[in-house]
Chain A
Amino acid sequence: MPEDNQNAGKKFFSDLKFGNFMEQAPMGICVLEGEQFIAINANDAYLQVVDRTPEQFIGKSLFESLPEVKDAVEGLLKNVIATGIPYHGIEFPVILKRFGKTETTYFNFTYQAYRDEAGTIQGVMVICVEVTQSVLARHAIAESEQQFRSMVMQSPIAMTIFRGPDHVIETANHVLFEKIWRKKPEDVLNRPALEVFPELKEQKYPELLQKVYYDGITHTEKESVAYVHGDDGMRRFFLDFEYRPLFEPDGSISGIIITVNDVTSEVEARLQAEESERRTNLVIDASGLGTWEWNLQTDEMKFSDRFAELFGYGPNEKIPHDKLVNAIHPDDLQVRQLAFEEAYKTSVLNYEARLFNTAGEIKWFQTKGKLLFDEFNKPLLMMGTLRDITREKDHNSELEDRERKFRLLADSMPQIVWTADAEGNLNYFNKSLYNFTGMSATEVMNDDWVKFIHPDDVNENMRIWKESVAAGSDYIFEQRFLTADGHYRWQLSRAIPQKDTTGNIRMWVGTSTDIHEIKELDEQKDLFIGIASHELKTPITTIKGYVQLLQTMYVGKDMFLENSLNAMHKQVITITDLISDLLDLSKIRSGNLQIQQEVFDIKDMVTDVLLNTRQTNPSFEFIADIQANNVYVSGDKNRLSQVLINFLTNAIKYSPETKQINIRMEDNNDTVKVFVEDTGIGIGKSDQDRIFERFYRVEGKEENTFPGFGIGLFIASEIIKQHNGNIGVTSELGKGSTFYFSLPKQQK
């Protein structure tokens, strides 16, 4: 700096009475004189700021030495000179060419008019402080804050800033608005958070915010549950969030920056998975299955509480694998061993064994598992389930007990008891059979059982058995079994199909009862009846002969004798009929009722019978309607006559009052039907079904009136059956009965 100028400036400052103070002041000072703003002085500070030497600046017009500032300040300076009113510039931007470049600078300054002693304005005193650094720094901050905001707004992570102790929402990004708050910015921004979201008051968040705001310690939390009431209603969120205090340069806290990561869907998915696992576990627990997992490479064993419980351990107890193995019943270790060998081959483990639980009780268990191999085909892991089957085993042994009891019961019976499967294959006999036949179980079961059946009965037995099995109907058959000492004894065999709930046959249960004695007695009885009946016939013949002879001698001669002989004759005929019936009965019983086969005109038979009946019953009126001619049937004429006689005899017997009987014949397509209709006492409905049974007689007072064995209709029914015909009755009490039989017609 040239000495002269310095001196001039000093002189000026001395003049201005500021002296050294100005020279040493930290702010730039310069004095501009006149309308041309000639710099008459400037201190070093000023010259340094504008990067000008005193030679370049002092004594020259301001706009000559600093032309770049003319636009910015000329007006201001002229105004100060003209008006005398000072101007204060704050952070006033000025473009300066200094230090080799053009730059924007900022100044705080004062333009102050100065006057001469007369008070006339002489020029302007400039006092300035450059504030470029601080302005630029502030601009930089603002800019970075702007960038930060923009970053926050764009962030995929929800962010917001709460300001002040009331947590006024200053800003928040789209994600937060759209995904979590679900509110419009205008309803939210610049309002206290708890006013916008009153529901938060019930939750932990206000307290946390306060803590962060006052303690200045960042708070982070994962998967925190938050309920937020948006425009579309209340929703539950799982949020990872951070409350970070916002520090001011002075260390004070002005707000909280909040980042929120919505992890609701992940957490819900996980919870759902956990829930479904929990349910699965519930199911497993409910099923009573224990689960286990055995790492074969580390020998590490994992299992459920239920698994431990089966061994008698409490939940969460650590049990080494060898301890579990040692609990298995020694007798069953072999079973386990084999099961594992199998599992190494098939990768499926399945076995049942016993274990001793910690209380020393024996428990049956069933374990099922799967063996997993690694990529080198080395056994890696085995996992499976364990089920307590003690009760089932007990139940099975109960079944075995029952089975034993059944066998014991069956064996203790004198009867032969046997069973067969649904197809009729015999699969069980009780001891009685082996005792009876002297055969062994193996012999009998080798289908040799036919050997003990009488050769004459085998075929019929097989036929009836097959029929029953096919039809699912009861089997009943009389046959002879060979005893151990070589005699045949009669057996009555019966079998009943055992059906399941759907009606399918599951098995057959049969018995064979020894009826040998009964059968013999029955045969003897039939034989006796036969013989006795024949033996009766000879004396009857004699009596009958004499009665008839005497009748011829005394008719019309002695009234008393005639009547007596008539009565005797009638009774002899009754006895004869009874004997005849007894004989027929015994024949039917023994299957010896013989039917002669001849083809004859049924009209002839009916006419013959009617002729005889009319002769012997002159007091009755028989009205015959037998138009059909040339109707032939095949069979035993005498036996069929017997049936018709039986019908007529009954009609006569039961029509003592009306004495009128109708006989009709009906010629149908394939059959011929003969009716005998009386107008007598009739038969009740319930008796009609049973009247053809053996020894059945209608109950009632009439019974005493009409003696007889009640077997006539039974015999008639048997005879008609043997002719493949039908027999029946229609009747009404008090009005009469109609008996009929029908027979298949035969071509002559």
Chain B
Amino acid sequence: MTQTTHILVIDDNTDLLMMLKAMLTSRGYQVTAQPDTENIIEFTKGVSPDIILMDMLLSGADGREICRDLKANDDLKNIPVVMLSAYPMAQVDCLNAGADGFIEKPFDMNFLLDTVARFKPAD
């Protein structure tokens, strides 16, 4: 039995956050849902997730900045980051900020799950 994949989901919209958690949990992922971005780097270090799923626009923070910070951190830079945005044009920005995947909102459940599955660590 392989180890459960741990996903850190960061979104300030708690309803969306809970929906994402439910969706991913239903597929057997371990989910840490985080609506707050304060000390997110330290928080992430503590959680040590396999995948980070993060909205681009967060209250009081820019997901792209966080992404850059994560990628600049030697401890965290190898964790795949998948970003969500309602702006399809933001995809380029997100990838430039170091994101590994991009999902446009609203998304199809299968698309989200397929995308996330791509970043599951190899056994």
Contacts and interface: CB of A to CB of B under 8 A. Distances in A.
A448 to B, nearest CB: 42
B122 interface: no
A552 B19 CA distance: 14
Chain B CB count within 10 A is highest, among A544, A553, A572, A594, for A544
B50 to A, nearest CB: 21
B72 interface: no
Contact of A541 (B87, B89, B107): B107
Interface in A505-559: 533-534, 537-542, 544-546, 548-549, 552-553
Chain B CB count within 10 A is highest, among A538, A549, A576, for A538
Nearest to A594: B89
B87 to A, nearest CB: 6
A542 B89 contact: no
A537 B19 contact: no
A149 B109 CA distance: 148
Contacts of A546: 19, 22
B15 interface: yes
Contacts of A549: 19, 22-23, 26, 109
Interface string B8-28: 000001011001101100100
Contact of A542 (B15, B26, B112): B15
B109 A538 contact: no
A323 to B, nearest CB: 94
B106 interface: yes
Contacts of A533: 86
B22 A542 contact: no
Chain A CB count within 10 A is highest, among B15, B26, B106, for B106
Interface string A544-581: 11101100110000000000000000001000100000
B42 interface: no
Given A537-B105, A552-B109, A576-B106, A545 B23 contact: yes
Interface residues of A, number: 18
A541 B109 contact: no
A542 B16 contact: yes
Given A546-B19, A552-B26, A572 B106 contact: yes
A538 B26 contact: no
Chain B CB count within 10 A is highest, among A544, A548, A572, for A548
Interface in B53-75: none
A538 B85 CA distance: 9
A537 B84 CA distance: 11
B108 interface: yes
A52 to B, nearest CB: 174
Given A538-B16, A552-B26, A545 B87 contact: no
Contacts of A537: 86, 105-106
Interface string B82-100: 0010110100000000000
B84 to A, nearest CB: 8
A538 B13 contact: yes
A533 B23 CA distance: 24
A117 B101 CA distance: 204
B86 A534 contact: yes
B22 A548 contact: no
B13 A545 contact: no
Nearest to A551: B109
A541 B16 contact: yes
Contacts of B105: 537-538, 540-541
Contacts of B23: 545, 548-549
B92 to A, nearest CB: 10
A545 B108 CA distance: 7
Contacts of A572: 106
A511 to B, nearest CB: 38
Nearest to B87: A534
Nearest to A533: B86
Contacts of B26: 549, 552-553
Contacts of B108: 544, 548
A203 B33 CA distance: 141
A572 B107 CA distance: 11
A612 to B, nearest CB: 11
Contacts of A544: 106-109
A327 to B, nearest CB: 87
Chain B CB count within 10 A is highest, among A545, A553, A572, A594, for A545
Interface string A308-321: 00000000000000
B2 to A, nearest CB: 22
B86 A545 contact: no
Contacts of B110: 548
A572 to B, nearest CB: 7
Nearest to A546: B19
B10 to A, nearest CB: 14
A538 B22 CA distance: 16
Contacts of B87: 534
A594 to B, nearest CB: 7
Contacts of B20: 545
B16 to A, nearest CB: 5
Nearest to A537: B86
B22 A541 contact: no
A542 B13 contact: yes
Contacts of B107: 541, 544-545
Nearest to B22: A549
Given A538-B13, A538-B16, A553-B26, 18 more contacts: A533-B86, A534-B86, A537-B86, A537-B105, A538-B105, A541-B105, A544-B107, A545-B106, A545-B107, A545-B112, A546-B22, A548-B110, A549-B26, A549-B109, A552-B26, A552-B109, A572-B106, A594-B89
20 contacts: A533-B86, A537-B86, A538-B13, A538-B16, A540-B106, A541-B19, A541-B84, A541-B86, A541-B106, A542-B13, A542-B19, A544-B109, A545-B109, A548-B110, A549-B22, A549-B23, A549-B26, A549-B109, A553-B26, A576-B106
Interface of A: 533-534, 537-542, 544-546, 548-549, 552-553, 572, 576, 594
Which 6 pairs of residues, A with B, have the shortest CB-CB distance? A537-B86, A548-B109, A541-B106, A545-B19, A541-B105, A534-B86
